[in-house]
Structure 1
Amino acid sequence: MKQGNAINRIIMLVLLGAVVLYLAVSAWNSLTDPFSTVVSYAYTVDDAVECTGFVVREETVLAGTGGIVDLLPEEGEKVARGETVALVYQSEAGLDRKQQIQALTLEREQLQYVLAQSAAGGDTAQLSQQVIGAIVALRSSVAAGDLTGLEEETMSLKSLVYKREYTYGEGDGGAGLEDAILAVDAQIQALSNQAALDTARVSAAQAGVFSGQVDGYEGLLTPEMLSSLTPADLTSLANQRPQADGNAIGKLVTSARWYFVCPLSERDAERLNEGGTIAVRFSRDWSGQVEMDVERIGAAENGRCVAVLSTDRYLSDTTLLRRQTVELIFETRTGIRVPKAALRVEERTVTDEDTGEKRQVQINGVYALVGAQAEFKPVTVLAQQDDFCLVQAASAGSAAEAKKALRAGDEIIVAAEDLFDGKVVR
């Protein structure tokens, strides 16, 4: 037993020594070998500036009278003038009553379905298939972790199961179903009459987009103020901690156009043109990029200007946004990313086609590994960062030059000794 343990220990030590030796050789080769390559790839660089400002909308606060509030629209949902946006219950009994009415309404729909199927000689096989489909859909959502439609899918399955039960169950025909529907209607009416005594409705005075969040800026920052805001005003707003109205239950955004106002340095503000557009990228509470109109560039104050931007897109997606840090994207460049160390300047002799005169020119380019040889590929530099360059293939004057142009996926030589076009490096 002891001899076996000694042999195992020797084998483990030998294996460990082999691994250490392999790592040491690899490290030595990487340090001493002057030849190294990387694969180039397509890349996009943004000429952008970051700024922090406020989202401004035309907003009307909706107030309730106290009690238990049940908001009906979803966040960002459009509502019509006069539409009920919330129910306010004076007690828990009112909320329970609403749930009873919903259950009875569902039961009435099920009874009406069974009655229609009975009159038309309904296809029970099709109903069974629908039940199976609803079970599969619910199981798929749960397995995928997508619970956004869980309540709706559960109610759909429950409804189909009840409908199938009524269809296959014993009954006294259409007359019995009609009596059952009348009985359910009577219960719904009785509960609705009771609800009228302790339930208040909050309706929209005008059409708009609903939001359940009220932050107190609704009265402090309005579109009418944007024509006179100064950088000092924005600083003051940023330092405030407004309190929302305690009776507020939500708000309506009553205009499709919304604004983003922010302070910029004079240098950055000069790059914007009033009446033009600028791409604005949101990435904090909402991820998206939207093209916005430049409404106003304010006068300079201590080296800063106020920029007012606007758009009528993505309103329903941005109702929860207020103070945001965004990127203003002035220009987007797409090219091929190569290491900065791989960029080389070669001096070449070119001949003027008209005069035949020869002259020396300097050409930017990179060496790419083509087969076993190094091949020089002229490039135009689009942008430079700390450790890489964004380039594109230089304009080709002939088919042969076009064939040798740099492409994404080429293996770029970063470090090598005495490189020249056509040198065998492998």
Structure 2
Amino acid sequence: MTGRTGAAGRRRRAAFVLVVFALLVLCLAGYFLWQACRVRLIRVEFLVPGSMRETAAVSAWLVKKETLLSAPAGGRLTLPVTDGERVRAGDTVAVIETPGGARMEVRAPVAGIFSTGVDGLENTLKPEMLNALEMNKLEKLEQNRDRPVNGMTVEKGRPVGKVVDNLSPVLFWLQTPEKDYRTADMARGKSLSLLWQGNRLSGRIVESRQSGGCWQTVVSVTDYPDQLVHFRQVTVDLIKGDLSGFLVPAGALVVRGGRTGLFVLSRQTVRWTPVDVRGSLSGRAAVTGAGLNNATQIVVNPRWAREGDRIE
């Protein structure tokens, strides 16, 4: 009886050991299978240098230092200079032939660019008057579209052109949603960059105020194409962000010990490498760092990666 009881106990112990061993084998097999599957989920890409830019299209009023020229008498208008031509102070820019046969010249009082783009806002949109103007009221002002042309008959006092001082800054008066920009970004003296017809214009904020949920901002631009002086309103792209470096998905960044880095592939092994993040836009980050080049491969989905993983 005792012998049979002892044999049964040994069989139970042996069965228990077998079950534990089988479970251990299954766990190990599951672990290695999971590791193999996890590594296969890791995606790597080569680093690509580039740049990215975030812009917002805004309408801008242009405020220039301009001098109106009026007809001294009524008669037939002749324009001896072309629209956009640079003139010196004292140059004849218009001639009026009166019905009585008199010939009266209109001379440029200052040097600059001659323009026939008279719109009737020259005495309203002056740099020194911007503080007293509201943009929503300006939109209601009617612009004169009747440009002076050669051979037309003009009345005394009618504008025949203007001289724009191309050596003075052009002021871009623009309006942007208040929620899109921090107060610090719109502070006086801050730099802003604009794009107009492929030209990058660098300016500085000289005035900024909040009104009706918007920022009304005046940007002074000193270096600009001459043709800009012919416009009163233009659409520009306000550059909100401009970055260059190696472009990576923002999700590829890995923070360790307070530092930001990437998982890179070194000799088929995953290694963490610190990088400098220059900024991020639209879900991508621009990074630089020692040892990074076009041949560097990075892990773009680091949640599946572990330091030391081998990627075959």
Contact 1:57 1:259 in 2 (8 A): yes
Structure 1 residues 49, 336: CA separation in 2 closer, same or farther (over 3 Å shift)? same
SS of 1:236's equivalent in the other structure is helix
Q: Percent identity?
A: 23
| 1:62 to 2:69 alignment | yes
In structure 1, what is the equivalent of residue 168 of structure 2?
Answer: 256
Contact 1:258 1:315 in 2 (8 A): no
In structure 2, what is the equivalent of residue 53 of structure 1?
Answer: 60
In structure 1, what is the equivalent of residue 297 of structure 2?
Answer: 411
Contact 1:216 1:245 in 2 (8 A): no
Q: Which amino acid aligns with 1:290?
A: L
Q: Displacement of 1:329 after TM fit?
A: 4.7
Structure 1 residues 418, 313: CA separation in 2 closer, same or farther (over 3 Å shift)? closer
Match for 2:135 among 222, 230, 234?
A: 234
The 1-side partners of 2:145 and 2:111 are apart by 22
Match for 2:90 among 82, 94, 101?
A: 82
Q: Which amino acid aligns with 1:37?
A: V
In structure 1, what is the equivalent of residue 216 of structure 2?
Answer: 306
Where do residues 163-174 of structure 1 align in structure 2 (5 Å cutoff)? none
Match for 1:243 among 144, 158, 162?
A: 144
Match for 2:128 among 224, 227, 249?
A: 224
Match for 2:81 among 55, 58, 72?
A: 72
Q: Which amino acid aligns with 1:243?
A: N
Structure 1 residues 239, 411: CA separation in 2 closer, same or farther (over 3 Å shift)? farther
Q: Displacement of 1:330 after TM fit?
A: 6.7
Q: Which amino acid aligns with 2:293?
A: R
Q: Displacement of 1:83 after TM fit?
A: 0.9
The 2-side partners of 1:322 and 1:245 are apart by 14
Q: Displacement of 1:80 after TM fit?
A: 1.0
In structure 1, what is the equivalent of residue 245 of structure 2?
Answer: 335
Matched residues, number:
256
Q: Displacement of 1:54 after TM fit?
A: 0.8
SS of 1:271's equivalent in the other structure is helix
Contact 1:269 1:305 in 2 (8 A): no
Contact 1:278 1:330 in 2 (8 A): no
Q: Which amino acid aligns with 1:238?
A: E
The 2-side partners of 1:249 and 1:39 are apart by 62
RMSD between aligned residues? 3.7
Match for 1:377 among 267, 273, 293?
A: 273
Q: Give deviations 1:198-229, integer Å, cap 9, x for gaps.
A: 98754323322222322333233222311222
Contact 1:378 1:406 in 2 (8 A): no
Any stretches of 5+ residues in structure 2 without a counterpart? 1-39, 149-158
Q: Which has the higher strand share?
A: 2
Q: Give deviations 1:323-354, integer Å, cap 9, x for gaps.
A: 23334557644332112343345x6xxxxxxx
In structure 2, what is the equivalent of residue 399 of structure 1?
Answer: none
Structure 1 residues 383, 257: CA separation in 2 closer, same or farther (over 3 Å shift)? closer
Q: Displacement of 1:318 after TM fit?
A: 1.8
Structure 1 residues 221, 368: CA separation in 2 closer, same or farther (over 3 Å shift)? same
The 2-side partners of 1:81 and 1:222 are apart by 21
SS of 1:319's equivalent in the other structure is helix
Q: Which amino acid aligns with 1:262?
A: L
Contact 1:366 1:376 in 2 (8 A): yes
Contact 1:56 1:223 in 2 (8 A): yes
Structure 1 residues 301, 418: CA separation in 2 closer, same or farther (over 3 Å shift)? closer
Structure 1 residues 268, 215: CA separation in 2 closer, same or farther (over 3 Å shift)? farther
Structure-2-length-normalised TM-score: 0.65
Contact 2:77 2:97 in 1 (8 A): yes
SS of 1:82's equivalent in the other structure is coil
Match for 1:293 among 162, 182, 204?
A: 204
Contact 2:193 2:203 in 1 (8 A): yes
SS of 2:113's equivalent in the other structure is strand
Contact 2:241 2:281 in 1 (8 A): no
The 1-side partners of 2:280 and 2:220 are apart by 32
SS of 1:318's equivalent in the other structure is helix
In structure 1, what is the equivalent of residue 193 of structure 2?
Answer: 280
Q: Give deviations 1:285-304, integer Å, cap 9, x for gaps.
A: x4323333332234x43333
Structure 1 residues 375, 89: CA separation in 2 closer, same or farther (over 3 Å shift)? farther
In structure 1, what is the equivalent of residue 24 of structure 2?
Answer: none
Q: Which has the higher helix share?
A: 1
Contact 2:252 2:302 in 1 (8 A): no
Structure 1 residues 37, 198: CA separation in 2 closer, same or farther (over 3 Å shift)? farther
Structure 1 residues 220, 372: CA separation in 2 closer, same or farther (over 3 Å shift)? same
